[in-house]
Amino acid sequence: MESIVPEIRTLLGVDVIDSARTAPHLRPQVPAVLETLLSAGMAAVGISRDEAVDAQYTGDGWLYAFPIGLLGRVVDLGQALDGIVAEHNKWNKLELRLRLAVDAGPLPDTQGFHAANIARARLLEAPAFKLLARECMAARPDGSMSTAMIMSDTAYRTTFDGAYAKVARATDFASLAVTNKEFTARAWVAVPGFDARTLAEMAEQDGTAASAPVEESEPTRRGRVKNTIKSNSGHAVQADSITGGITFGRGPH
C-alpha cells in the first residue's frame, strides 16, 4: 500500500518552568492563568485557537499543532508572550515562566506517538535547553526573565530563510546541540533580554556546544559561525566555519 505523507504542521509546545515548585495554595490557579496568558499572546500575533488542528493540555503546559502557514506567527509568539508574562508576574503572586518549543513536520490527523510529536517533546524537555533557561533565570534575580524558546533547525531555516516572522529575528537565536534520550539534533534557542552570543557563552560554560549565528545581512551564509571558543585551560581558537564539535582534552558530558 502506498504511504501518503501527512500534512506538514507547525508544532508548538509550552511548559511552565519548575511548576512543581509552585506554592500548593497557588497551583489550582496555574491552568486558568496559563490559558489566559497564551490567549493574550496568540491574539497579539494574530493566531486564533480555533486554527489549531490539535490541542492537548499536559497538566502544566499545552501542545498545539497549527497549519504550517502560521509558523512565522508561532515563532513571534515567544517575543509577544515575554512581555505579557512579565506584566502578569509584576502584579500577581502566582509567577509563571515558560519554555516554548517550535518544530515543523508531517503530522497525521489522528492522535498518537507520531515522529513530529516526539521530536517536539524531546526539544521541549531537552536537558541542555532546560539548564540554559534556568541559567538565564539565575542571571536575572529581579525575575525579569519570562520566556525561553527552542526551535528545530527545520523550523528555524524555514522561518528566517523566508522572512516569515515579523518580530523575531534570526540573530536572536543561538545554535544549541541537544540530546534527549534517543533524540540528537541541532536546535536554536532564544531568550528575550539575552543576545545570541551571551546564550552561546552560557551554553559553552555548561559544557554544551552552542554558537551565535552570523548577521542577517548574510542570509546565504547563515549556517556559518564566526566565534572565539575558549577552553578551560585558557586556549582559544578563532573559528571561521565550524561544521562539527570541538573538544578540549575531554569527552562530552
The residue among 43, 116, 38, 113 whose CA lies nearest residue 81 is 38
3-state secondary structure string across 12-63: EEEEECCHHHCCCCCHHHHHHHHHHHHHHHHHHHCCCHHHCCEEEECCCEEE
Cell of 197: 552570543
Report whether 237 contacts 228 (CB < 8 A).
yes
Torsion-angle region of 32 (φ positive above 0: left; ψ -120 to 50: alpha; else: beta) = alpha
What is residue 206's three-state secondary structure?
coil
pLDDT for res 20: 87
Question: Which residues pair with residue 102 across a beta bridge?
Answer: 12, 151
Q: Which three cell numbers stand for residue 218?
A: 548574510
Cα–Cα distance measured from residue 202 to residue 32, given in angstroms and rounded to the nearest whole number = 33
- Name residue 99's beta-bridge partners: 15, 148
CATH code linked to domain 8-220? 3.30.70.1230
CB neighbour list of residue 10: distance below 8 Å, 6 or more residues apart: 65, 66, 67, 68, 69, 70, 71, 74, 102, 103, 104, 155
In contact, 87 and 176? CB cutoff 8 Å: no
The predicted structure's pLDDT at residue 210: 62
Ordered per-residue pLDDT tens for the chain, 253 residues: 567 888 999 999 999 999 989 999 999 999 999 999 999 999 999 999 999 999 999 999 999 999 999 999 999 999 999 999 999 999 999 999 999 999 999 998 877 778 899 999 999 999 999 999 999 999 998 989 999 999 999 999 999 999 999 999 999 999 999 999 988 999 999 999 999 999 999 998 876 656 666 454 343 333 333 344 444 444 444 444 344 444 434 444 4
pLDDT of residue 212: 66
